[in-house]
Amino acid sequence: MKIFVATHNKHKLEEIGAILPGIEVIGDNPEGVVEDASDFAGNALIKVRAIAKRHKGDWSMADDSGLEVAALGGAPGIHSARYSGEPTDSARNNALLLKNLEGVEDRRANFTCVIALVGPDGEEYIAEGKCFGRIEKALAGNGGFGYDPLFVPDGERETFAELGAEKKNVISHRARALAEAKKIITKGKPAV
Ligand code: ITT
């Protein structure tokens, strides 16, 4: 089977493809959409609806995700991609996060990923995954994308960027949300 994914982010697309072996994952740019909802689910629905109209009869999905830092009241949250302004720049975002956490002992954080799905008949579903951990005091590792060089998942000593794709794609927020999404796609589940 195949599934269309509404994203501009090639790293997300790569991870989704790796996490869903056996499903043909095809990127489709939701150009022009404004992600102005107040939560991850709302923004994921905005993105998936923008492409699903082109793929009637097939499944479409969108991933809206972000990093929530306890000591920052959940920021950057839904603003993760553009935390330090436009255009999106991960190095600048990570630098700002480190600056905002200078001298802060409580480093607890979590990633959240919400997957919005539109099925072949236009039915809509939501799946969510979280990964808890902490923010390092300096960047470490070259893998992954976004905040991966700063995020150490619970139970690990290294950042996502050091742990590498194989490990990340088993324990990440995205892996967890996609496990739920896969159940919906393959078995069907009550619509939201
Ligand atoms: P699309 O909307 O086009 O899919 P985007 O990158 O703008 O791409 P989001 O609006 O969902 O996507 O923002 C997600 C941001 O959260 C992303 O740019 C990263 O900064 C961060 N993020 C999400 N998942 C991450 C992960 O697995 N590792 C590191 N950072 C992540």
pTM of the model: 0.96
Distances (CA, A) of 137 to 86, 103, 173: 25, 10, 22
**pLDDT score, position 188:** 56
- Tell me: the pLDDT tens digits for 93-128? 999 999 999 999 999 999 999 999 999 999 999 999
Please confirm, yes or no, whether 64 is among the known catalytic residues.
yes
Q: Does the pLDDT at position 139 exceed 80?
A: yes
Token pair recorded at residue 175: 């892996």
Spell 121-152 as b/e; 16+ CB within 10 A means b: eeeebbbbbebebbbbeebbbebbebbbbbbb
Output the domain CATH number for residue 97.
3.90.950.10
Using the structure block, give the residue that is written with the tokens 């994952």.
25
Token pair recorded at residue 183: 């159940």
For the Cβ of 81 lying below 6 angstroms from any atom of ligand 1, the answer is yes
CA of 62 to the centre of ligand 1 (A): 11
Range of the domain at 44: 2-187
Domain-embedded: residue 192: no
- Evaluated on CA atoms 19, 75, 94, 32, the torsion sign reads positive
For the Cβ of 134 lying below 6 angstroms from any atom of ligand 1, the answer is no
Number of domains in the chain: 1
Domain-embedded: residue 117: yes
The number of the ligand 1 atom at minimal distance from the alpha carbon of 90 is 20
* One-letter amino acid for residue 83 of the chain: Y
Q: How far is residue 129's CA from residue 176's CA, in Å, rounded to a whole number? A: 5
